[in-house]
Each structure stands twice: as structure tokens, then as C-alpha cells.
Chains A and B, each alone.
Chain A
Amino acid sequence: MSGFTGLAGYLVLVVVVVGLIVVATHLLGERHRESGTGVPYESGVLPAGTGPLRFPSDFYLIAMFFVIFDVAAVFLFAWAVSVRELGWAGLAAVLVFSLETAVALAYIWKSGAFDWGRARRLAHLKRHGLLP
């Protein structure tokens, strides 16, 4: 119970101190109001448009696929520089790995992940009967 009293006191202290800081910074100092004072700083030019804007999420997909297949390339390079030392066992491992990557590629291709752009996305959805 005493532990909770300490926590409660600590919470009260936090609220009081932060409240004091907020009120003091609100009251202290000078203020001025000119035409550009409240405008966001954009290196001196006026801001164009608003912050919340819509852009296609395809860019996210492209970035994710690049990361995935880039890592695949890293493994292949690591195998390629020591191909003689690794021998047939290394070749077999790389073949299995490449096959897995190819299966993954086929899967995401089939699921329409490469159908970038609104028109192609709609066509893909229609082809698979996913549109109402």
C-alpha cells in the first residue's frame, strides 16, 4: 500500500511540475504577431498544400520486395566468392535456396503484388472475382 502512496505522490508531483512549466512558458517572454509569424517554416517560402496527403502504397511494396531480393543476392554473392571450397554441397544448398526464392516470387506474382497502378490493380481484382 505504501508503494502506491509513493507512486500517487510522484504522479501528483509530475502533473504539478509540468503544469507549472507549461503555464510559466505561456506567460513569460514577449509575443509578436506579423503576417509570417505563425506560418510553418519552409526556408522562407510559403507552404504549398497540407501535410496529410494520399500517395499510392505501391512504393511500400517496391521497397519491401527490393529488401527481400536484395538479401537473397547477398547470400548468392557470399556463396559465389567461395564456390570451390563449398563444393557440391554448397551448390545444392544454393539451389534449394534459389528454388525457395523462386517459389516466393511466383507466389507474390500470382497474388498480384506486381500489378502496380490503379488500372492494373482493378483488372487483377476483377480477374479474380474480388470486386463486388
Chain B
Amino acid sequence: MKKLDPSQHPFAGLQMARSADLLAWGRKYSLWPFNFGLSCCYVELATSLTSKFDLARFGSEIIRSSPREADVMIVAGTVFMKMAPIVRHMWEQMMEPRWVISMGSCANSGGMYDIYSVVQGVDSFMPVDIYVQGCPPSPEAFMRALLLLQESVGVEKRPLSWTVGPQGVVKPERPSMRDIMRDERRLRGDLEPPDTV
């Protein structure tokens, strides 16, 4: 049986796909974000929804204001100690399947705020699927993360029902993009003067 390969054309092998693969393929292109932002990173997240960047190209333009309907929570901004229980609470209120993108240095690791009031990484109190680097990350960086998440969602194994079959989620390995992109990024040594942009 031919498996659905996310690197190929979206419709490749669709006729022979198993129902689980078909579901994963459907989820992949309809990741609805939770309307939720903490700090300045949310500005960049909101910018990715504008017509210039157009998040609708990836099927993620439908911002949900209820965690019950949202698929992906994007922790965009500094997570303060006061806010952490609330973020965790809202994550608990999201229905499976759910994913988390940690957006920006503050959400990833506390960023430059190594102080008493800031949580040092959102993964200390809930699981994170994708980390976006940047302070703040550009909308392009966020969209790159969304594409990475789509790739991962398209191949992960989930139970079709809570009543039958093996339970538990098998997620694919997520390699460090820092290692993969390292050589390419190091080549970018030349800065262009502003008047050539």
C-alpha cells in the first residue's frame, strides 16, 4: 500500500491512502490557530494574517476564539509567572488533536528576561511541538514554523477513536533546524545597504 508522502504533491497516493492518513492529510491543511497572544510577538503573528503574508495560503487563517475549536496554540510573547497557569489552563481546554508553537525567544527560553517574574521556557509546563527563533520572529519565520508543523502533522499517527485500536500519539522525529540550516545561514555574511532593498 502506498503511503502518503508529505513531500510530494498533496494529492499523490490519495486514492490508496488509509483513513488515518487521509485524516492526517486533512488536519495538516486546516490547522486553526487559537486567538491568543501575550506580548509583542503577537504583532508579528497578526501580521502574518494580513494580505501581504496571507496565512490563508496554508489553511490557517481561521482564528478561533474558543479553545474547543482551535487546533494549534501559538504562545506568542513573554510568559510571566502570573500568566503561566492561565496558559496551561487554556491548553487543557483545547480538544485533541492539539499542537503548540512556541513563538519567540521569550516563549522558547525566557529570552533576555532571566528574572523572577518570567517563565524560563513555556515547555517547562506544557509540551511544545515547534519552536520559532527570533526576537520577535518575522512573519516569514512563523509561517516556516507552521509549514514544519504541517509536515509533522501529516505523518504523525493518532488513534481514530478513543474506543478501539491502540491509543497514544506517535509523532515523527523533529530534527533541529539550527543544525540543518547552519551552513546556509552562515553563508549570509554580506549585509545589503538599506537603499537596495
Residues on A lying within 8 angstroms of B by beta carbon are 27-32, 34-37, 39, 41, 44-46
Contacts and interface: CB of A to CB of B under 8 A. Distances in A.
6 contacts: A27-B162, A30-B167, A31-B162, A32-B96, A36-B90, A45-B86
A44 B96 contact: no
A34 B159 CA distance: 19
Nearest to A36: B92
Contacts of B87: 44
Contacts of B92: 34-37
B89 A36 contact: yes
A30 B89 contact: no
A41 B68 contact: yes
Contacts of B68: 41
B93 A36 contact: yes
A46 to B, nearest CB: 8
B43 to A, nearest CB: 20
Interface in B126-144: none
Interface of B: 66-68, 86-90, 92-93, 95-97, 158-163, 167
B90 A30 contact: no
A59 to B, nearest CB: 28
Which 8 pairs between the two chains have the least Cβ-Cβ distance? A36-B92, A44-B86, A30-B96, A34-B92, A31-B162, A36-B89, A44-B90, A28-B161
Contacts of B159: 30
Given A29-B95, A30-B167, 10 more contacts: A27-B163, A29-B96, A30-B97, A30-B162, A34-B92, A35-B92, A37-B92, A44-B86, A44-B87, A45-B86
B28 to A, nearest CB: 16
A39 B89 CA distance: 9
Nearest to B168: A30
Contact of A44 (B89, B160, B167): B89
Nearest to A33: B92
Contacts of A36: 88-90, 92-93
Contacts of A37: 92-93
Contacts of A31: 96, 162
A41 B160 contact: no
Nearest to B163: A27
Nearest to B88: A36
B66 A41 contact: yes
A30 B93 contact: no
Contacts of A30: 96-97, 158-159, 162, 167
